């Protein structure tokens, strides 16, 4: 897929070094999809690569704009990186985008109103209703978006939801699931959850996919092309491995990620159960909802 990213973005070269063919789009054309990525994950380059990797498997032409918050200075990204490759929300607030991806953030144990950039995030969520054709809310952003729009609460889990879980599809005729298997696997890594009964009770939301183990997965706002996704379809193969070994090395309480390592043995390689589905889901999103 031809993709245009900020010139010199290291994440693009990282994806190319993995052997993934990415054509660089020199300039936007009439058929180019303008996609914004609001990246509030701490490790910026990792998340940039995750989404470039996914989007690169589509045939659509994409111009990717990396968005940053004006009210938050990242601790794990250099000021130079943010200045070179990211655009502030105030700079693009009068523009229209075909798609917006809001990433998660490891702040789920904090009350929404206590998040230092909550007010700006709410402004972006509201702005997207009028300026974006289709919006994806990923992981914590899905919880935050459902709370901001519908007042749906999150709940602390007794232990981390961690692993790769099977999910069923409630509405297979939805274009989002074209060419997708009946059972799909998705990585989850979170300390909070949404309650299914709260989702079902909210008539403005339609539940599209869920898991008996990890709970609700994909929800869509009725009458809009906006999706709330609680898992991490974008994760690279070794992301959960890195999280697990990091916590073990720090002596933190962490269970083995479920359905992840071959034979559930961390000495073995992870089993890639989700990436083919993730590519299809994102391709369908671009084709059927961002136009």
Which residues carry out catalysis? 139, 232, 234
Rounded Cα–Cα distance for residues 206 and 219 (Å):
6
CB burial of 217-249 (b: ≥16 within 10 Å; e: otherwise) equals: bbbbbeeebbbbbbbbbbbbeebbbebbeeeee
Rounded Cα–Cα distance for residues 18 and 156 (Å):
37
| 210: phi then psi, degrees, rounded to nearest 5 | -155, 170
């Amino acid at each position: 897929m031809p993709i245009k990213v900020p010139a010199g973005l290291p994440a693009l070269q990282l994806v190319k070094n993995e052997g993934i063919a990415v054509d660089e789009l020199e300039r936007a054309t009439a058929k180019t999809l303008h996609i914004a990525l609001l990246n509030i994950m701490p490790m910026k380059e990792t998340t940039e690569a995750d989404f470039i990797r996914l989007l690169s498997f589509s045939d659509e032409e994409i111009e990717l704009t990396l968005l940053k918050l004006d009210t938050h200075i990242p601790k794990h990204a250099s000021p130079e990186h943010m200045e070179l490759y990211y655009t502030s929300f105030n700079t693009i607030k009068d523009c229209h985008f075909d798609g917006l991806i809001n990433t998660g953030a490891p702040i789920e144990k904090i009350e929404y109103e206590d998040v230092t950039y909550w007010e700006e995030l709410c402004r972006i969520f509201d702005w997207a209703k009028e300026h974006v054709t289709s919006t994806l809310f990923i992981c914590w952003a899905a919880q935050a978006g459902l709370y901001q729009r519908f007042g749906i609460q999150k709940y602390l889990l007794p232990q981390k939801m961690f692993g790769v879980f099977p999910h069923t599809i409630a509405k297979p005729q939805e274009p989002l699931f074209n060419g997708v298997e009946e059972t799909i696997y998705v990585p989850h890594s979170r300390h909070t959850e949404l309650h299914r009964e709260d989702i079902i009770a909210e008539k403005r939301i339609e539940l599209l996919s869920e898991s008996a183990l990890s709970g609700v997965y994909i929800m869509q706002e009725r009458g809009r092309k906006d999706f709330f996704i609680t898992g991490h379809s974008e994760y690279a193969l070794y992301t959960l491995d890195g999280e697990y070994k990091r916590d073990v090395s720090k002596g933190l309480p962490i269970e083995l990620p479920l359905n992840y390592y071959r034979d559930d043995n961390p000495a073995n390689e992870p089993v890639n159960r989700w990436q083919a589905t993730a590519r299809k889901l994102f391709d369908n999103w671009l084709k059927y909802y961002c136009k």
